[in-house]
């Protein structure tokens, strides 16, 4: 049996939706994008990736037109266990990441470590909801601006922060092939996101501005990018969104079933805080080699991967930019050395779970 980290979530219905858009010739960002945004509720702005969603949120907070904006040198608390494009928008805007350790049970940012990290220049915090597991809500009550990186946590129980970011990459809970979303609390923030998403113009603002003598369709009031999605992406997303609840329920069923067996061998798994289970993370104890166990699974046709990118503070690229580290980050180091993820997606059923469990049993019998 071959068990991949992910199997495609889309099929004929999504293909037909994309073909219909192509036949319409209305392919650039338009009505389908707005309809997909509406699925997420008020103040949702679609873009071309989860990475772009993070960039847009940071760009909005740093913009000269944003009241009490972030400025170069301001600090943003981040989790050591995170992804590169959580961090890069911060350094690209001259902000200083302050890296803190995780709670080893949830794999999310430890709120107590976050409190220790607050200094005179600390203005914001950017928690990552690791592998779909919601962060401790205490993080939203530290008096800081909050950007919640929810790119791995679609459909998890996460409250709205100042900005929440989501990803619809191919391997995520649902896909638009490439795509992302930012949600926020106010129309002012949403309009800023729409302006920055598309060249700095006002065309897509809800509360559009007007200047005498300038065509409203080509009115530029800010610097911006081109981070728009297309109608094809949104059309696929509209079909996918209706499947989301079923996909997540299957992930949760598989994770619960796998968890019982892995706990039998005292292998740590992520404490479930209402997770949508982006994957099934495993942390081995010191008596077992994570590399040996991963090699065993791979030999049995079971794909594995590192948990996110491990401890971001240990990545070479991080050394190029000003940052601050609080504590020794030993929990994140432990995950980087001894952790990995197994498949847990919508196509993992009992047969696949039992195959992974039997593979684990063979390994443990030979390494007892």
The answer to whether residue 229 sits within a structural domain is yes
Question: Among candidates 122, 141, 137, 150, which has minimal Cα distance to 54?
Answer: 150
What does the pLDDT average to over 8-23?
98
Residue 82 sits in a domain whose CATH number is 3.40.640.10
Q: Which of 225, 241, 257 is the last residue of a domain?
A: 241
Task: Give yes or no: residues 46 and 150 share one domain.
Answer: yes
Residue 120: Cβ-neighbour burial (10 angstroms; 0-12, 13-18, 19+): exposed
Kindly tell me the sign of the dihedral angle through the C-alpha atoms of 212, 214, 220, 226. Answer: positive
Task: Give yes or no: residues 110 and 127 share one domain.
Answer: yes
User: What dihedral do alpha carbons 160, 184, 108, 303 form, nearest 10°?
Assistant: 110
Task: Give yes or no: residues 133 and 281 share one domain.
Answer: no
The answer to whether residue 2 sits within a structural domain is no
More confident residue, 42 or 319: 319
Task: Give yes or no: residues 85 and 234 share one domain.
Answer: yes
The answer to whether residue 5 sits within a structural domain is no
Residue 300 sits in a domain whose CATH number is 3.90.1150.10
User: What's the whole-model pTM score?
Assistant: 0.96
Task: Give yes or no: residues 228 and 252 share one domain.
Answer: no
Query: Does the pLDDT at position 151 exceed 90?
Result: yes
Query: Does the pLDDT at position 13 exceed 70?
Result: yes
Kindly tell me the sign of the dihedral angle through the C-alpha atoms of 148, 150, 155, 156. Answer: negative
Question: Among candidates 158, 149, 177, which has minimal Cα distance to 235?
Answer: 177
What does the pLDDT average to over 161-187?
98
pLDDT band at residue 368 under the 50/70/90 scheme = low
Task: Give yes or no: residues 189 and 267 share one domain.
Answer: no
Query: Does the pLDDT at position 50 exceed 70?
Result: yes
The answer to whether residue 190 sits within a structural domain is yes
Task: Give yes or no: residues 96 and 188 share one domain.
Answer: yes
Q: Which of 222, 241, 260 is the last residue of a domain?
A: 241
Task: Give yes or no: residues 218 and 257 share one domain.
Answer: no
The answer to whether residue 1 sits within a structural domain is no
Task: Give yes or no: residues 264 and 146 share one domain.
Answer: no
Which residues are known to be catalytic?
172
Q: Which of 217, 241, 265 is the last residue of a domain?
A: 241
Task: Give yes or no: residues 183 and 315 share one domain.
Answer: no
Task: Give yes or no: residues 218 and 306 share one domain.
Answer: no
Share of the chain above pLDDT 70, in %: 100
Can you give the residue range of the structural domain that contains 325? 245-366
d(CA 254, CA 273): 16
* Cβ contact 179:202 at 8 Å: no
Number of domains in the chain: 2
Residue 357: Cβ-neighbour burial (10 angstroms; 0-12, 13-18, 19+): middle
The answer to whether residue 233 sits within a structural domain is yes
The answer to whether residue 6 sits within a structural domain is no
For residue range 255-311, what is the model confidence (pLDDT) as tens digits? 999 999 898 888 888 999 999 999 999 999 878 899 999 999 999 999 999 999 999
Task: Give yes or no: residues 306 and 330 share one domain.
Answer: yes
């Amino acid at each position: 049996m071959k068990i991949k980290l992910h199997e495609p979530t889309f099929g004929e219905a999504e293909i037909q939706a994309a073909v219909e858009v192509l036949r319409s010739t209305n392919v650039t960002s338009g009505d389908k994008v707005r309809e997909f945004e509406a699925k997420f509720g008020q103040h949702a702005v679609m873009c071309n990736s989860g990475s772009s969603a993070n960039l847009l949120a940071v760009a909005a907070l740093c913009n000269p037109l944003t009241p009490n904006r972030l400025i170069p040198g301001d600090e943003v608390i981040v989790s050591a266990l995170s992804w590169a494009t959580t961090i890069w928008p911060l350094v690209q805007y001259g902000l200083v990441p302050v890296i803190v350790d995780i709670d080893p049970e949830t794999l999310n940012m430890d709120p107590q470590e976050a409190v220790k990290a607050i200094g005179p220049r600390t203005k914001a915090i950017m928690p990552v909801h690791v592998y779909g597991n919601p962060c401790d809500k205490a993080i939203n009550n530290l008096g800081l601006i909050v950007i919640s990186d929810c790119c791995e946590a679609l459909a998890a129980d996460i409250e709205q922060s100042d900005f929440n970011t989501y990803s619809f990459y191919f391997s995520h809970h649902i896909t638009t092939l490439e795509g992302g979303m930012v949600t926020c609390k106010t129309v002012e923030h949403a309009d800023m996101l729409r302006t920055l998403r598309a060249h700095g113009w006002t065309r897509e603002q809800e509360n559009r501005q007007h200047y005498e003598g300038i065509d409203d369709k080509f009115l530029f009031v800010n610097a911006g990018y081109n981070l728009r999605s297309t109608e094809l992406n949104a059309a696929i997303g509209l079909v996918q969104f209706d499947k989301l609840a079923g996909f997540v329920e299957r992930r949760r069923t598989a994770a619960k079933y796998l968890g019982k067996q892995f706990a039998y061998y005292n292998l740590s798994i992520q404490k479930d805080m209402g997770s949508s289970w982006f994957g099934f993370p495993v942390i081995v104890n010191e008596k077992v080699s994570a590399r040996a166990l991963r090699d065993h699974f791979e030999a049995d046709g079971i794909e594995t991967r590192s948990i996110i990118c491990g401890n971001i503070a240990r990545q070479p690229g991080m050394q190029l930019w000003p940052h601050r580290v609080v504590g020794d980050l030993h929990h994140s180091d432990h995950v980087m050395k001894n952790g990995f993820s197994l498949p847990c997606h919508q196509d993992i059923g009992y047969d696949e779970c039992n195959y992974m469990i039997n593979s684990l049993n063979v390994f443990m019998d030979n390494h007892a």
